[in-house]
Structure formats: C-alpha cells, structure tokens
C-alpha cells in the first residue's frame, strides 16, 4: 500500500480527526513554518488532499525543516492540502530505532484564522508525540500563513508616476 495522506508509514491508517486541511484560495499563496520541540523522532507530511499524494516531508533530526511555500494559486479554483504527523518513541540515532513503530500524532488547533490584514491570515496547528489526550500539541508547531494578492490602491501608485516625482528628463551629453 502506498504511503499517502490516509496511509501512513508501516501501514498505519490515519485518523482523519488528526489531519488538518488547508484551503488555498485562488490568487493566494501559502507559507508554512515548522518548529520541532521534541526528543522523539517526528515527521510531518503535506499532501494533496484531492489525490492524497504526499508532496513534502518535514521533520526533526535528519529531515528537512525549512519552510514550505506554495506559490500563488492560479488554478481558478480552491486547492486543498492535508497535513498529518507521525512520531516514534525513540530518537532515530538509537541503535534499535528501526524496531520502533511509527504512531500518528494527535493534532491540536492553537490559533485559527487570525486576520493580519484584509489579504492575509494565519493558523497555528500543533502535534504531540506522547499519546496523552488533551496534552498540549506543542512537539511540532506549524504556522500556516495565507498570503493574499497584493492590492495597491491607485492613490498610492499615483505618487510614483514620473510627472509627480519632479524628475528632469535625461539629456544626451555632447
């Protein structure tokens, strides 16, 4: 069975209650930043929610932790991504790390739809790796920035028209 949004490592069937779905609306970009605060091995999958295909893997230890950027959506419709996380109860550097199973991480919503300005907002989701219900979801934190189209008011652009800058035209030198 292929690993994807609903089929995790080692044949785990993902609990959909612990998957975060992100809608990227037309003309918007997404930027996701990751913070890992965990002793155990953790990984995050970003998947296409329509096909369930895994697009990106992030994680602590030896995995990539840099931001994920989805450029402006020019598809004319919404694009949906799914985010799911997994962990092991061991460091990957331990000699027996391969014998420990992957476990889906519980997801929590830390901030939802915080409006920054009319064209952007953010969410913060977290995952915990200790399998205790209602425990703070802070072993992995993901800030998801929804970046809208940059709309520059015409009055602002008017200030930068050459006629308003009092710039003398260049004259050819002799």
pLDDT the model gives residue 118: 82
pLDDT the model gives residue 27: 92
Give CA separation, 144 vs 33, 89, 92, in Å: 7, 26, 27
Average pLDDT, the chain: 87
Residue 161: pLDDT above 60? no
Question: Over the range 134-153, which residues count as b (16 or more CB within 10 Å of their CB) and which as e?
Answer: eeebebbbbbbbbbbeeeee
CATH number of the domain within which 79 lies: 2.60.120.400
Q: Is residue 3 part of a domain?
A: no
The whole-angstrom separation of Cα 165 and Cα 162 is: 5
Q: Is residue 150 part of a domain?
A: yes
pLDDT the model gives residue 154: 52
Domain span holding position 93: 9-164
pLDDT the model gives residue 159: 46
**Number of folded domains in the chain?**
1
* pLDDT tens sequence across 74-107: 999 999 999 999 999 999 999 999 999 999 999 9
pLDDT the model gives residue 164: 46
29: closest CA among 120, 114, 116? 120
- Report residue 141's pLDDT band, with 50, 70 and 90 as the boundaries: very high
pLDDT the model gives residue 165: 47
Give CA separation, 132 vs 67, 72, 93, 128, 137, in Å: 28, 38, 24, 8, 10
- Report residue 153's pLDDT band, with 50, 70 and 90 as the boundaries: low
pLDDT the model gives residue 49: 96
The percent of residues above 70 in pLDDT, for the chain, comes to 85
Give CA separation, 169 vs 35, 158, 159, 164, 172, in Å: 52, 19, 18, 13, 10
3 state DSSP class of 156: helix
Whether the model pTM is above 0.85: no
Q: Is residue 169 part of a domain?
A: no
Instruction: Pick 9 or 151 by higher pLDDT.
Output: 9
pLDDT the model gives residue 169: 47
Q: Is residue 174 part of a domain?
A: no
3 state DSSP class of 88: coil
């Amino acid at each position: 069975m292929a690993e994807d949004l609903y089929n995790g490592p080692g044949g785990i069937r993902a609990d959909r209650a612990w998957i975060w779905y992100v809608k990227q609306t037309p003309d918007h970009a997404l930027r996701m930043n990751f913070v890992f605060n965990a002793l155990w091995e953790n990984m995050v999958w970003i998947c296409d929610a329509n096909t369930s295909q895994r697009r990106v893997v992030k994680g602590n230890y030896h995995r990539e932790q840099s931001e994920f950027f989805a450029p402006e959506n020019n598809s004319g419709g919404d694009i949906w991504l799914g985010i799911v996380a997994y962990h092991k109860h061991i460091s990957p550097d331990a000699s027996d790390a391969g014998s420990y199973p992957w476990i889906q991480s519980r997801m929590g919503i830390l901030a939802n739809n915080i409006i920054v300005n009319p064209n952007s907002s953010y969410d913060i989701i977290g995952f915990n790796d200790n399998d205790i219900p209602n425990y703070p979801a802070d072993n992995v934190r993901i800030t998801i920035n929804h970046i809208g189209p940059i709309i520059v008011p015409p009055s602002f652009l008017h200030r930068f028209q050459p006629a308003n800058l009092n710039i003398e035209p260049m004259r050819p030198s002799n």
